[in-house]
Amino acid sequence: MDVSFLGGPQPQRGVGIVAPFDFALDRELWRWVPDDVSLHLTRTPFVPVETSLDLARLVSEHETLHEAVLALTAVSPETVAYACTSGSFVGGSAGEQAMTAAMEQAGEVPAVTTSGALLEALQELDARRVAVVTPYTKSVTDSLEDYLREAGMVVTGRSYLGLTRHIWRVPYRDVVDMARAAVVDSPDVLFISCTNLPTFDVIPQLEAELRMPVISANQVTMWAALQRMGKQAVGPYQALLDPVARRGPAAMDPEPNHEPSASYGPAEPYEAGEAYGPHEPFGGSVAQHPREPGGPADHGAPPPAALAGADLEGGESLEAYDQPHPPAMPDDGGGGAQPPA
């Protein structure tokens, strides 16, 4: 049978991705990639350390990155990206720039890190006031804020989960809850940190609700990596990727009179099907998440706005409860307010 008319597979251009050993969202990265681009992923060596500042330093050592990029050169990528937010901001701006230089030296192609891509995205959106959502512990979240402030950004609010493992299992409804809690004091943009936190489908929904650009770690990484090879990232109505989206809901001023609410406090390590876990509020007593048994939702208080279902695919709509945000609590100087008990 003559199959010469098929002409062979479509020519592909490559992006090399260095990811931490516990990275679990390969498929999410692919969703931002056009059909004529292939991703070539490699992972850093396993180390028996949970998500923390120590782990961020271990997976971002120059020798580790050098070996990973060398392995990727075998398939001739046009650019390489380090897909790890904490690993690329833990050393501050100087550390991030040194990492990028080390990768470029090893691969002899343009390189980008997630945290470097974050600053490029904020510049693209002309944003200086940033609300931050993370799955991290307080210390790692603090380090992200330090990195942003060093770059001249103002962090207007934050929300974090306090997780040290299983971050990829966090459902979209929890990401949305954190986003609503973090958006205080009129930020220009919301940033959802951590390449191991699922965000693809929730971005356009949050932009429509919050009326501001929403960017995430994986999104900015792929956007910046593809830009370096003259390609555009793809995604459904996301302000960073589509100038038309910036003239839609994401370009509008934030709705007035948002009820202020800042960061959720530390949580127990996340397990599949588990809620946030107990939070330690200011004052010493334990406050339960509203979805926990015995929490405020069991005593007549309204639940936090949430998605109707977790793990949405293909841009399904969010169905939020029509309930007010919980009132704010006093700030502790480092984490913001806790949800009420």
Q: Distance (Å, rounded) from C-alpha 40 to C-alpha 256?
A: 44
Q: Are 60 and 82 in contact (CB under 8 A)?
A: yes
Would you say 142 and 334 are in contact if contact means Cβ atoms under 8 Å apart?
Answer: yes
Residue 46: predicted pLDDT: 87
Q: Is 220 left (phi over 0), alpha (psi -120 to 50) or beta?
A: alpha
User: pLDDT tens digits, the chain, 341 residues: what are they?
Assistant: 666 666 767 789 999 999 999 999 999 999 999 999 999 999 999 888 887 888 888 888 898 999 999 999 999 999 999 999 999 999 999 999 999 999 999 999 999 999 999 999 999 999 999 999 999 999 999 999 999 999 999 999 999 999 999 999 999 999 999 999 999 999 999 999 999 999 999 999 999 999 999 999 999 999 999 999 999 999 988 999 998 887 655 555 554 444 433 443 433 334 433 333 333 322 222 223 333 333 333 333 333 333 333 333 333 333 333 333 333 333 444 444 333 33
CA 168 to chain centroid: 11
In the chain, the domains with their CATH numbers are 11-251 (3.40.50.12500)
What does the pLDDT read at residue 332?
Answer: 41
Residue 232 CB neighbours (<10 A)? 12
Residues 113, 118, 119, 121, Cα dihedral to 10°: 120
Looking at this protein, which amino acid is placed at residue 189? V
Q: What would the two tokens of residue 272 be?
A: 């599949």
**Per-residue model confidence (pLDDT) at position 225:** 98
Q: Give this prediction's pTM.
A: 0.74
Closest CA to 276 of 290, 261, 259: 290
